[in-house]
Amino acid sequence: MGKISNQHIIDQLTAQFDGQFTAPTEPFGLLTLETSTGTINSLLTYLKNDKELSFNYLTDITAVHYPELEKALCVVYHLHSLTNNVRIRIKVFMPVSNPTIPTATTLWEGANWMERETFDFFGIQFTGHPDLRRILNVDDMTVFPMRREYALEDPNRVDKKDFFFGR
């Protein structure tokens, strides 16, 4: 569908960032790369500013928590090259003890709220973000609720017990 193939993107990135990203996979044709917190900023800058690739549209930033992994938190970027009509997904894994990653707000203003949301739910610290506050949850919340250790409801609540339906 796109004007440039995924292999072409991989070749171009390998020339520029050899060894700094790993495991290109293509689930449902969407090129997925993994990189490190040190490389992500230069990789995003390159993808955005390269004349041919021009991944100029930031579709989404979100995160995933894999508690069983050593680097348990994963920030996922979805970029879209509107001129080539190609998408790319970039993942960055990081440990829960030090969840810091450079901000993408220097490249896209739109990253501002996406990163705030990711911080709000996963506690990812985006260094250099101009206004890293909670956005959807209340300001005095102390936990990061989308992490897997937090159950959906407080199991100790008694006011919502419904014994007839075995909750």
Partner 1 sequence: MSNFITEITPNRPVYTDNDPQGDFSTLNLGPTHPATHGVFQNVLQMDGERIVSGVSTIGYIHRAFEKIAEHRPFYQITTLTDRMNYCSSPINNMGWHMTVEKLLGIEMPKRVDYLRVIVMELSRITDHLICNGILGVDTGAFSGFLYLMEEREHIYEIFEEICGARLTTNIGRIGGFERDFNDIAFAKIEKFLVKFPPILKEFEQLFNRNRIFIERTSGVGAVDPETALNYSWSGPILRATGVDYDVRVNEPYSSYQDFDFEIPVGTKGDVYDRFILRNEEMWQSLRIIEQAMEKIKKEPKGIFHANVPEFYLPPKEQVYNNMEALIYHFKIVMGEVDTPKTEVYHAVEGGNGELGFYLINDGGRTPYRLHFRRPSFINYQMYAPMSRGMLLSDAIINMSSLNVIAGELDA
Q: By C-alpha distance, which of 31, 46, 48, 35 is closest to 108?
A: 48
Looking at 10-18, 79-87, 92-100, 155-163, which segment touches partner 1 (CB under 8 A)? 79-87
Query: Is there binding between residue 87 and partner 1 (CB under 8 A)?
Result: yes
As beta bridge partners, residue 79 has 58, 88
Distance in angstroms (rounded) separating the CA atoms of residues 90 and 31: 8
Looking at 8-16, 26-34, 37-45, 159-167, which segment touches partner 1 (CB under 8 A)? 26-34
What is the token pair recorded at 158?
């008694």
Which CB, 91 or 101, lies closer to partner 1? 91
Query: Is there binding between residue 129 and partner 1 (CB under 8 A)?
Result: no
Query: Is there binding between residue 93 and partner 1 (CB under 8 A)?
Result: no
Q: Which of 21, 77, 119, 121 binds partner 1 (CB under 8 A)?
A: 121
Handedness of CA 38, 109, 130, 125 (dihedral sign): negative
Query: What are all long-range contacts of 11-17, with beta carbons under 8 Å and residues at least 24 apart?
Result: 12/50, 12/52, 12/53, 13/43, 13/46, 16/46, 17/42, 17/43, 17/46
Which CB, 13 or 84, lies closer to partner 1? 84
What residues make contact with partner 1 under the rule CB under 8 A?
Answer: 1, 27-28, 30, 32, 56-60, 62, 64-65, 76, 78, 82, 85, 87, 89, 108-114, 117, 121, 135-138, 145-146, 152
